[in-house]
Structure 1
Amino acid sequence: MIRINQSKFLFFPILFLMFSLVIQSQKRGKISETETIKTTPKLVVGIVVDQMRYDYLTRFYHHYGDDGFKRMVNEGFNCKNNHFNYAPTSTGPGHASVYTGTTPATHGIIGNNWYDKLNDVEVYCASDDSYASVGTTTAAGQMSPHRMNVTTITDQLRLHTQMRGKTIAIALKDRGAVLPGGHTANAAYWFQGHDEGKWVTSSYYMDQLPKWVNDFNASGKVQSYKKAWNTLKDINTYQESGLDNNNYEGLFEDETTPTFPHSTPNLLDKTKDFEFIKAIPYGNSLTADFAIEAIEKEQLGADTITDFLAISFSSTDYVGHKYGVNSKEVQDTYLRLDKDLARLFKTLDKRVGEGEYTVFLTADHAAINVPAYLKDQKIPAGYIEKTDMAGFSDFLKYTYGTEDIVKDYSNFQFFLDHKIIKNLDLQLREVQERIANEVLGYSFVDRVYTGYQMRQNNYTTGIPYILQNGYHQKRSGDILVVAKPGFISYPKTGSTHGSPQIYDTHAPLLFFGKGIKKGSTVERTEIPDIAPTIAALLGIAFPNGTTGKPISKVLE
């Protein structure tokens, strides 16, 4: 009798089944790995809110609706400890740093304006008279990104898609559109106010405006926003800001008090003079209208090749400068911006598809509270007066026999005349140090650094780290001055920015949409981290000057 071992017969089918499952698992793993190597939203939308402090998100939070800022927080990722890691903190460097993934030390946009020491002339970050204006007969369109030395995330997306992905950049301010659009944008548009009230561009991008832009300009939409500004809600509910009538706020012409409603007859009765719209929240609404029109007419996000829409909301900056961070005007501006964001997101849901686009929102800088207000609250603060440096000219004459050894002073930097220093048979380092020691003795000064220190040392924390990231060896000055915290060179009303102090560096950073986790972090993130994070999401090359790093917690 032959005895059959049934367990052996059962063993082989089980072994084959297990082997098949392993193979299938490995195949699934490979598919999964391929699928997750990149995320392909149909559209990336980058939003920069000009002069937005992080605490505007939290101070006004319970006033916001569910579909604007709250949607980004609830459905996306909130970086609560996000900072600019360079100075000066101003609009040009801010937009350039967001989109290049690096700092002025590398991308070269060291201010809105700066002294060009090679050509002995003051320059503007986006100006370029080698191109013509398009849509206006003024010089307002003579712009290009030629002073930005590196690529942007928008450039890299264009290169990655063989120029098939489209980039459109929009802002009231020219620099808020030109710099984010990068070197390869299909279009960048900005608002020419004054007596025209039109969206314009540069021949750098095109020879004539598209029909849809001309149609928008002729639609009467701009004129419709020349109207009185009253509060969106009952002003008595605005408990998160100071008194409406105070001494810390500026005035429009014809106004006697800085109070609501702002309905200055001379401005509103004029058939022209559209600059007024920039300085009220309707400028943001106009920007949203134009961006929504661009989504539709340019068919952004309409196919599987990723497009990029860069939007900068500029009116927040104008309002902050005029009224200050503690004003009811600032609060109302953000409540209205929240509604504009909701409109934009609903359009994206409809035109591109919910879950088919990715958005980030940040700022180009934050702002200081009005020093006059801080002083009244017994907080150290003040203003820098011309008399604070009254003895500087005498010092230069006594020490060097001439004032001309200093060629320029801008962005809190002294630029020295190196030819004069050489002719006097002096050492540049010694001259820098001697002038720095003199300036350090002035009452408003907190600290001073020299160009030699910026070049020779490697700072990793604190104020010198921030200054060094803003220091471009070919473009920056010889002596860098840091004012005391709370001290500014500005009129007695309204807020400003530009310093390396934390009130100017702490800005929001929100992500939401395709490929973004839900959550938040209090770990430090920095503005140059945004571009490489988006690049990692898309699976494309980083901008070629990138010094930031991807924020891994943000990505699914």
Structure 2
Amino acid sequence: MTSVFSAHAQKPQVPKIIDKVKTDVARPKLVVGIVVDQMRWDYLYRFANRYGNGGFKRLLNEGFTCENTQIPYIPTFTAPGHTCIYTGSVPAIHGIAGNDFIIQTTGKSMYCAGDTTVQTVGSNSAAGQMSPANMLSTTITDELRLATNFRSKVIGIALKDRGGILPAGHSANAAYWFDDLTGNWISSTYYMKDLPNWVSAFNKQKLAEKYIKQDWNTLYPIETYSQSTADDTKYEGKLTGEEKPVFPHLLSKMLNGSYKVIRTSPYGNDLTLDFAKATLKNEQMGRGTDTDFLTLSFSSTDYIGHNYGINAVEIEDTYLRLDKNLEDLFNTLDAQVGKNQYTVFLSADHGAAHNPNFLIDNGIPAGFWPTSRVLKDLNKALQQEFKEEEIVLSLNNYQVNFNNQMIASKQLDFEKLKKSAIRFLRAQDGVANAIDMENAALSSAPQQIRERIVNGYNYERSGAIQILLKPGFFSGYSSTGTTHGSWNPYDAHIPLVFMGWGIKHGSLNRQTSMADIAPTLAALLHIQEPNGNIGSPIEELLVK
């Protein structure tokens, strides 16, 4: 056989000439990313017998569901969750180590989206002094803007500032969030000097006030809420001014110069949807020559969950109403953009635990971890050994944040300090383990937990010791409601469903990661992955 490298080789074959080279990249007209704040994975099915056909069921029946999507880091909070979804990265890289975190060199607390160099647009409050500046990596929305030479329009919306800002990225056209003082949708000078005329007109409708004055009763007869505990239980928190946590919730009596109460009601989701629909219409999203991207976070589910816990009638009612919100949104997208002309995904930033007293009353191990008391006792124990006060600043994010400036100035033995703190914490009720962050990969914790600690550790913004509580335990004194933040499935197992342009119909049970969402979108759109991405495309859901 003649070698192609031989002097007497036959002339190499040339590729067949393609008659016409296709230069246009096929993409959807619009991508809509939906994050439901504090949505546990099982909510897809827990209330399914009462969902309509156009919301959650449409997602499942027409789209592709990844049934075992896990958060790949701890702590599991709102800001890191939204950031991971859109960056494909983890706190170790993207830098959003919590909703709040401590700059370890200075000991100063930093809010994830806080930025005093910018000013509020749309209100006289300080609620607009926010930007994505603390996020260290790009988002998939940034990469879309870069890929289209900034022709793609990107807008972020959420009641929570961090839920609107972080997903939209550094280069967004706009991000909007809710101002409790005025009831307006606001922004910051990071994005614009003045609100667009249509936003000002929307705010003049005073929809927040109108919703609040409706009060909150159940959507259906209360006796039909079979997936919930009784309406009045010791596991539920009360709204300000209420004697009992029962329906109807007289929100109209709670205005009192602030619109904050709308957050802890499903009307917060209604208002978010109203504003999203106005954005789609007035910004002509999905109508241009390049793909646009709307990031949308429903925040009220988190406020309601924190207050009432996951078994309350209030949660069931909220998700039945959210199901209708989703149907309305999808119908709007069908009409304005065109069915199968857009791609939508739905996920969550974290889940939530059962109320510990609820578990205890049903024979399941659980408990509350008294963080403030443990911090006080830990500092007392360290003071006895090292002769200095306030050696630990905080146990925020289930981490030991040391007073590093003082430790350096007093020349204390840091390694010895860590060992003493770990020994103290491991002896506390409710603690499963306490792990030195810098040596987490070599710890005795299970591999999956070790990886999540490593992924969540940003040495500039995270504490030096990670505290792991026993299953069913969480931080706090309150005996009502719920929270999140741990590695456990109730906090880390989230829904992930894609639907629309370029998406197959089906389901997947192998484990996927929250960090896989951004690279999957990059593959769908044929653009570069975010620059801190560690995830992989979920190939099974993409049309080849």
Question: What TM-score, normalized by structure 2, do the two folds share?
Answer: 0.93
Relative to structure 1, the CA distance from residue 213 to residue 387 in structure 2 (aligned partners, 3 Å threshold; closer, same or farther) is closer
Per-residue CA distance 1:203-246 (angstroms, 9 max, x = gap): 00000000000000002322221121111112222111111111
Distance 1:249 1:509 in 2: 28
Distance 1:364 1:471 in 2: 18
Residues 135-534 of structure 1 correspond to what in structure 2 (within 5 A)? 135-194=122-181, 196-226=182-212, 227-264=214-251, 266-267=253-254, 270=256, 272-385=257-370, 386-388=372-374, 391-418=377-404, 420-422=406-408, 426-454=412-440, 461-490=447-476, 491-534=478-521
Counterpart of 2:108 in structure 1 is 121
The CA deviation at 1:411 is 1.2
Contact 1:86/1:470 (8 A) holds in 2: yes
Per-residue CA distance 1:457-503 (angstroms, 9 max, x = gap): 89983222111111012211111111111111231110111111111
The CA deviation at 1:356 is 0.3
Aligned amino acid, residue 483 of structure 2: T
Distance 1:328 1:66 in 2: 22
The CA deviation at 1:408 is 3.5
Relative to structure 1, the CA distance from residue 98 to residue 418 in structure 2 (aligned partners, 3 Å threshold; closer, same or farther) is same
Secondary structure of the 1:350 match is helix
| Identity percentage of aligned residues | 46
Contact 1:388/1:444 (8 A) holds in 2: no
The CA deviation at 1:421 is 4.2
Q: Structure 1 residues 494-503 or 413-422, which shifts more?
A: 413-422
Rg: which structure is higher? Answer: 1
Per-residue CA distance 1:425-482 (angstroms, 9 max, x = gap): 5543332123212211111211111132147789983222111111012211111111
Distance 2:539 2:432 in 1: 37
Give the root-mean-square deviation of aligned CA atoms: 2.2
Q: Structure 1 residues 534-543 or 476-485, which shifts more?
A: 476-485
Contact 2:113/2:165 (8 A) holds in 1: yes
Q: Structure 1 residues 149-158 or 392-401, which shifts more?
A: 392-401
Distance 2:167 2:252 in 1: 37
Distance 2:393 2:235 in 1: 35
Distance 2:170 2:483 in 1: 29
What is the total number of aligned residue pairs between the two structures?
527
Secondary structure of the 1:139 match is coil
Q: 1:110 aligns with which of 78, 93, 97?
A: 97
Aligned amino acid, residue 71 of structure 1: R
Relative to structure 1, the CA distance from residue 38 to residue 70 in structure 2 (aligned partners, 3 Å threshold; closer, same or farther) is farther
Counterpart of 2:117 in structure 1 is 130
Q: 1:61 aligns with which of 16, 23, 48?
A: 48
Per-residue CA distance 1:369-408 (angstroms, 9 max, x = gap): 1111111001101112244566423321221111343243
Distance 1:459 1:392 in 2: 23
The CA deviation at 1:554 is 1.1
Contact 2:174/2:192 (8 A) holds in 1: yes
Relative to structure 1, the CA distance from residue 555 to residue 39 in structure 2 (aligned partners, 3 Å threshold; closer, same or farther) is farther
Contact 2:156/2:295 (8 A) holds in 1: yes
Distance 2:262 2:91 in 1: 31
Q: 2:79 aligns with which of 68, 92, 105?
A: 92
Aligned amino acid, residue 107 of structure 1: H
Per-residue CA distance 1:347-383 (angstroms, 9 max, x = gap): 1111111110000100011000111111100110111
Secondary structure of the 2:297 match is strand
Relative to structure 1, the CA distance from residue 348 to residue 467 in structure 2 (aligned partners, 3 Å threshold; closer, same or farther) is same
Q: Structure 1 residues 161-170 or 376-385, which shifts more?
A: 376-385
Secondary structure of the 1:87 match is coil
Aligned amino acid, residue 188 of structure 2: S
Contact 1:73/1:510 (8 A) holds in 2: yes
Aligned amino acid, residue 293 of structure 2: F
The CA deviation at 1:304 is 2.7
Secondary structure of the 1:411 match is helix
Counterpart of 1:15 in structure 2 is none
Relative to structure 1, the CA distance from residue 130 to residue 91 in structure 2 (aligned partners, 3 Å threshold; closer, same or farther) is same
Aligned amino acid, residue 259 of structure 2: F
The CA deviation at 1:62 is 1.3
Contact 2:269/2:298 (8 A) holds in 1: yes
Aligned amino acid, residue 487 of structure 1: F
Contact 2:310/2:482 (8 A) holds in 1: yes
Counterpart of 2:11 in structure 1 is none
Gaps of 5+ in 2: 1-13
Secondary structure of the 1:52 match is coil
1:42 has 2:9 as partner: no
Distance 1:449 1:387 in 2: 20
Contact 2:375/2:394 (8 A) holds in 1: no
